[in-house]
Chains A and B, each alone.
Chain A
Amino acid sequence: MTRSIYVYLLVAALVSFLIRVLPLTLIRRQITNRFLRSFLYYVPYVTLAVMTFPAIVSAAQYPVAGIAALIVGVVLAWLGAGLFPVAIACCASVFLVEFLIGLI
């Protein structure tokens, strides 16, 4: 059974596109229902938090390095650092911790 890679790519792209575009094009007005508005208000924070932990811990080679990145990231973000500084600081913590582990 030979199938075309391009058809695979087309099917995947089409499904991805529809999922991303349908709610944005169908929900054209500000929602007035209080529950729905509150729900959509909380969705971003919950989604991003769920995706961050524990994934950040297992993303690095060593969990300790991931935990260091988490702590550094939370502290810097709490102090008001922007997206780029926080992201770079997290990378640097992982690099540093893994470098230190390598010395042991």
Chain B
Amino acid sequence: MPSDTLRQKLLRGARDGLPVGLGYFAVAFSLGITAKAAGLSPVQGFIASFLNHASAGEYALFSLIAAHAAYWEVAVVIFITNMRYLLMSAALSQKISPETPFFHRPLIGFGITDEIFGLGIAYKGWLSPAYLYSAFLVADLFWASGTATGIVAGNILPQNVVSALSVAIYGMFLAIIVPPARQNRVVAALVLISFACSFVFSVLPLVSALSDGMKVIILTVAISAAAALLFPVADAPAEGGEAA
């Protein structure tokens, strides 16, 4: 039943998008406080978050607006803070079935966030656009309304609740990377090496001054390239589930 499977995919997407959305809401709430300081109305905050859906990029955007920066500066800073999505987009391109119509590609691309990318990678086999749209829409509506609520309401969530919710996203990341690491020693070693290098980058003088987005790019490219040279993966699997 094609309609049944579509419905199941949409439901599954919404179910997986919900924890993402809850984590987003708390983060977006604090983002809203920054947006308010930059003079954004709740509607503008909602639009900014719905379209950009990138925490670091939006923090940068709101501080630039507050500083009355030039438009081109905004373009450059958004490009740098969001550059890691180029890599994620390239990785996802390999998860899309040759039979998927072209118009899904820009739509899937638009939805890429760290977490939605994670869900896409965890999806078994070729990526289902319906699943990803559903997860993205649920999560992004929480993100955008969280920002708007933050602009309206400021600090109403108690600090301990914000603190607890702020690790939700990392918990999800662990749920995505740990099971493959258990099955594949190379992936397990890479996860540990990534943890270690990321820690070193966060404390090392000079390097720690780089933006978070830049650190992610440098480490991802360097570690993945080294792994690809030392441990090339076997030939293409029958259907696009290679990263699942």
Contacts and interface: CB of A to CB of B under 8 A. Distances in A.
Contacts of A104: none
B23 interface: yes
B168 A91 contact: yes
The SS class assigned to the A binding surface is helix
Interface residues of A, number: 80
A87 B52 CA distance: 24
Contacts of A5: 39-40, 44, 65
Contacts of A74: 174, 178
Nearest to B218: A50
Contacts of B168: 87-88, 90-91
B157 interface: no
Interface string A41-77: 1111111111111111001110001100110011011
A11 B182 CA distance: 43
Given A24-B108, A49-B177, A61 B163 contact: yes
B93 A24 contact: yes
B105 A41 contact: no
B228 A17 contact: no
A21 B175 contact: no
A62 to B, nearest CB: 8
Contacts of A34: 232-233
A103 interface: no
B90 A27 contact: yes
B229 interface: yes
B61 interface: yes
B179 A12 contact: no
A19 B236 contact: no
Interface string B169-184: 1111111111111100
Interface string B132-147: 0000000000000000
